[in-house]
Amino acid sequence: MSEQDYHIDTLAIHAGQEPDPATGAIMTPIFQSSTFVQEAPNQHKGYEYSRSGNPTRAALEANVAAIEGGQYGLAFSSGLAAIDTIVRLLKPGDHVIVGNDVYGGTFRLFDKIYQRYGLEFSWIDQSDLEAVKAAFKPNTRLLWLETPTNPLLALGDIAALAESAPQDVLVGVDNTFASPYIQQPLTMGADIVMHSSTKYLNGHSDAVGGLLAMKDESLYTELKFLQNAAGAVPGPMDCFLVMRGIKTLGVRMERHSENAMKIAQMLEDHPEIVKVYYPGLESHPQHELAKRQMKLFGGMVSIILKSEAIAKTMVTRTKLFALAESLGGVESLIEHPYSMTHASTADTDIAVDPALVRLSVGIENVDDLINDLRQALHND
């Protein structure tokens, strides 16, 4: 049986990882070494210097390629470093189409940094296929999608959007919110998949990292050159932690999704809640697409409360849901995007609603989580 035939839960545990030939250690060793001894100049065992390559990182890179249904993987020191490396493929004068609901840090990178270097960005509602089609220009080189989006959980139809892109436009998908257990954009026509591995892939909130996966060898060669030349690489310990986290991705995503669905249903019926965003709810405008494109609906739920003040009070009242940025760990988190993760979008066309609260539903007992949210919403 070749690796190609294994299911994602099996690949998550085994791909890229062989018992250590020297010791038999079943876990990939943490090669905490910056450099590698050479027998003669350029005569070595495949590794020279840990910015260009490290065996622990190589195992993670092979693993992410396999679980995303790609051929090649690359690891970075953060999710933003991974996106930054993709943007370095472009040159001044190039045009990028980006969804109009994205992580605030992605917006900041594009709007506050790369615009200064002569790149042009159009912020388009990616759930509107015709609007995206109309936004392509002769100089468009990248279509950047996030699906589901952060924080409003809107979907882009990956296959239809990838199909609509002209030949010379790279289609990149930030798959952080779904994870490859739920959807594999490379199998739907995307050219590059990106992760903030800080989130579901790591799953335990103990490392910051980014990952890319792709099928095309020349694209990989260009990105690998940039990875080494710009140098935003992760350390071996962090690679080990992400790899260990990925092993349980499937069971965690099942539980995150099950818990999030029950919480979304409870919130939808709650008198203090104005609106619930969750792709698993029938009220989600793209529920049919979600059923088609996603294996599960994921662990992220966003809600609109009656005012900014009520939203800010709620996030300080929960006891199990910790008030913190980030998401995708086993523990539940709650946050106020307007003043926290998406503060960089304030006063722009893509600013988020001040009454919005975002939940990263963990894998604790769901009744405990529901009781925690109920007491935080209690109107006394």
Cβ partners under 8 Å of residue 163, min gap 6: 189
- Measured distance CA(184)–CA(152) in Å, rounded: 21
- Measured distance CA(267)–CA(249) in Å, rounded: 26
- Measured distance CA(234)–CA(232) in Å, rounded: 7
The answer to whether 191 is a known catalytic residue is no
Residue among 326, 350, 351, 370 that touches ligand P1T (CB under 6 A): 326
The answer to whether 51 is a known catalytic residue is yes
Binding mask 266-305 toward ligand P1T (x if CB under 6 A, else -) reads: ----------------------------------------
Instruction: Please give the C-alpha separations between residue 78 and each of 85, 174, 208, in angstroms, as whole numbers.
Output: 11, 13, 5
SS3 call for 277:
strand
User: Residue 82 or 373: which CB sits closer to ligand P1T?
Assistant: 82
By CB under 6 A, residue 222 contacts ligand P1T:
no
By CB under 6 A, residue 241 contacts ligand P1T:
no
Q: Report which DSSP code applies to 62.
A: H
User: Do the beta carbons of residue 232 and residue 75 sit within 8 Å?
Assistant: no
Catalytic residue among 51, 108, 133, 247: 51
Catalytic residue among 57, 141, 199, 255: 199
The answer to whether 174 is a known catalytic residue is yes
- Measured distance CA(215)–CA(69) in Å, rounded: 8
* Smallest distance from ligand P1T to CB 78, Å: 3
User: Residue 176 or 332: which CB sits closer to ligand P1T?
Assistant: 176
- Measured distance CA(135)–CA(370) in Å, rounded: 42
CB half-sphere exposure, 355, CA atoms < 13 A? 10
189: tokens are 């026509």
Q: In this structure, are strands 210-214 and 192-196 parallel, antiparallel, or unpaired?
A: antiparallel
**Backbone CA torsion sign across 89, 231, 190, 327:** negative
By CB under 6 A, residue 332 contacts ligand P1T:
no
- Measured distance CA(102)–CA(342) in Å, rounded: 9
Binding mask 154-183 toward ligand P1T (x if CB under 6 A, else -) reads: --------------------x-xx------
By CB under 6 A, residue 327 contacts ligand P1T:
yes
User: Residue 47 or 355: which CB sits closer to ligand P1T?
Assistant: 355
By CB under 6 A, residue 80 contacts ligand P1T:
yes
Binding mask 13-52 toward ligand P1T (x if CB under 6 A, else -) reads: ----------------------------------------
User: Residue 47 or 109: which CB sits closer to ligand P1T?
Assistant: 109
- Measured distance CA(133)–CA(293) in Å, rounded: 20
Name the H helices within the chain.
8-14, 55-67, 79-87, 104-108, 129-135, 158-164, 217-230, 236-246, 249-268, 287-293, 308-317, 366-377
Residue among 55, 69, 70, 79 that touches ligand P1T (CB under 6 A): 79
By CB under 6 A, residue 208 contacts ligand P1T:
yes
Residue among 50, 183, 196, 293 that touches ligand P1T (CB under 6 A): 196
152: tokens are 């409003």
The answer to whether 103 is a known catalytic residue is yes
Residue among 50, 106, 140, 179 that touches ligand P1T (CB under 6 A): 106
By CB under 6 A, residue 78 contacts ligand P1T:
yes
Please report which helix (H) or strand (E) contains residue 93, including its range: none
Catalytic residue among 101, 174, 191, 372: 174
Residue among 48, 206, 325, 364 that touches ligand P1T (CB under 6 A): 325
* Smallest distance from ligand P1T to CB 104, Å: 7
226: tokens are 């940039």
Site of tokens 């001894």: 37
Judged by CB under 6 A, which stretch of 90-98, 211-219, 241-249, 324-332 contacts ligand P1T?
324-332
**Catalytic residues, which ones?**
51, 103, 174, 199
The residues that touch ligand P1T, with contacts defined as CB under 6 A, are: 78-80, 103, 105-106, 146, 150, 174, 176-177, 196, 198, 208, 210, 325-327, 341
